[in-house]
A and B are shown apart, each in its own frame.
Chain A
């Protein structure tokens, strides 16, 4: 029988949640024994060709590209989990939600004391993903089946959640490892 497939995506975040996943240490060997890591920043597959059983999302939707990646993940995953506070509430990137986008960009590229920008241009290469007006948590965009809070979630929390799902049990994290910070 084929192994269940696990996919992970990295949207607007700091990669800390993926680092937390890697931080399950030697259990990663056990994990790759029981699941196939199908599409993830940890492997090299570029597009979905098959469905995944579980999808993990790190980060919120900051750019248009983030939304496209999230929609593709939803289309190709049976069970989707928001991992970490960026995916759940926008977290640090969402601090800009109360400030107009133009003001944010001008502050970043033109106005800070440490900015050195002799051309006085704001980067606008077509290759750059377009910033959304505001940062969205993932459940604003697609249906999310579960969430694992934390910044980042503890590796034990990720491990427990994956173990539960792979054994067809509900995700119920023990009090000690359910943390928002």
Chain B
């Protein structure tokens, strides 16, 4: 595979042709924040958290192919503020009650808010009226927490090959839906599905296993999200 090189924040990064900017940055130990992207799923470019400036233009790093000679800016005050605003908007558009969420400490939205030092959103809360689907004996779907990242939609379609999840509505009325009007109980979704394990927030949760890891030992309790990438400089490395 052909080796290429490009610049991120003034640093030369070597990558393999065919990689996305996000994957190449990961391999080089540079963390670009992301929410809708997952290593086991096709890139989607929906959440815009991974927006970087590529040759001066805003592009999503998860979908942009890495190529020779790119000049990329990732760590700038402007991009930091844009990403922080995206997080702020996600918090006020849903009902994110961290204090009783079983995903707390493992939630990628919450972890990014920790990393960005958000203590309170700058926009007014919307308090949308959303529902919970607890019809399935082993799974519940809490729409309050959904950020419409489509990870479950893609995993159910491409990995589980079940097509359980999809979106309905548009704009602020857009919501996650399942493939039956009667709710999750009437679908073939299973607690072992990839769709459940890729949810970055507490929307798709397994019943009977709540709060299994004590506070202090959860994934993001001690180290910010992305630390694993920053600490691990892969074989590509940066120069």
Interface residues of A (CB under 8 A from B): 82, 85, 88-92, 94-95, 97-98, 134, 137, 139-140, 144, 146-149, 151, 173, 175-176, 178-181
Contact = CB atoms under 8 A, between A and B. Distances in A.
Interface stretch (B16-24, B93-101, B173-181): B93-101
B97 A176 contact: no
Contacts, number: 62
A148 B119 contact: yes
29 contacts: A82-B120, A85-B97, A85-B98, A88-B120, A89-B120, A89-B121, A89-B125, A91-B97, A92-B97, A95-B97, A98-B95, A98-B127, A137-B120, A140-B124, A144-B120, A147-B119, A148-B119, A151-B98, A151-B99, A173-B119, A175-B114, A175-B222, A176-B221, A179-B114, A180-B99, A180-B114, A181-B98, A181-B101, A181-B105
Given A149-B119, A181-B104, A98 B99 contact: no
Q: Which of A137, A176, A179, A180 has the most CB of B within 10 A?
A: A180
B101 A134 contact: no
A148 B117 CA distance: 11
A178 B98 contact: no
B129 to A, nearest CB: 4
Interface of B: 95, 97-101, 104-105, 110, 113-114, 117, 119-121, 124-125, 127-130, 215, 221-224
Most chain B C-beta atoms within 10 Å of own C-beta, residue among A82, A98, A144, A146: A98
